[in-house]
Amino acid sequence: MRLIPSQRKHKILLLLASGLTGLLTAHAIWGPYGLLHLRALQRQQAQLEGYLLQLHQENERLRAHLEKIERDDLYLEQVVRERFGVVGPNEILVEFATPTPTAAP
């Protein structure tokens, strides 16, 4: 069956349009800024949002700790004693040596 020139022209245009559509679709999926890249960015965003949530929680914990230090003298004393080993007046600090393990014969 022989195609008349206008039918042949339409068929070639249809093949070109289909090929171009296929290339554009492939580029939209696998291209440098395609769908796969978008999915990777979404995973990275979810990880960063989780990390941000952890940082906010840590920030709130530290803020509460600071407020408690500023308002509660007993808590401040406890923190100073724990961190810096401060001994109060009329107190004696007793430290026990940790025994070192000896090699078995």
Q: What is the pLDDT of residue 7?
A: 84
Question: What's the domain count of the chain?
Answer: 2
Burial class (CB in 10 A: 0-12, 13-18, 19+), 69: middle
Range of the structural domain that residue 63 is part of? 36-86
Q: What is the pLDDT of residue 8?
A: 84
The answer to whether residues 51 and 57 touch, using CB atoms and an 8 Å cutoff, is: no
**pTM (predicted TM-score):** 0.55
Q: Are residues 43 and 26 in the same domain?
A: no
Q: What is the pLDDT of residue 31?
A: 87
State the Cα–Cα distance between residues 43 and 45, nearest whole angstrom: 5
The answer to whether residues 34 and 28 touch, using CB atoms and an 8 Å cutoff, is: yes
Each residue's pLDDT tens digit in the chain (105 positions)? 566 778 888 888 999 999 999 988 988 888 888 889 999 999 999 999 999 999 999 999 999 999 999 999 999 999 998 898 888 888 887 888 888 877 766
Q: Write out the two tokens for 46.
A: 């979810």
Q: Are residues 13 and 46 in the same domain?
A: no
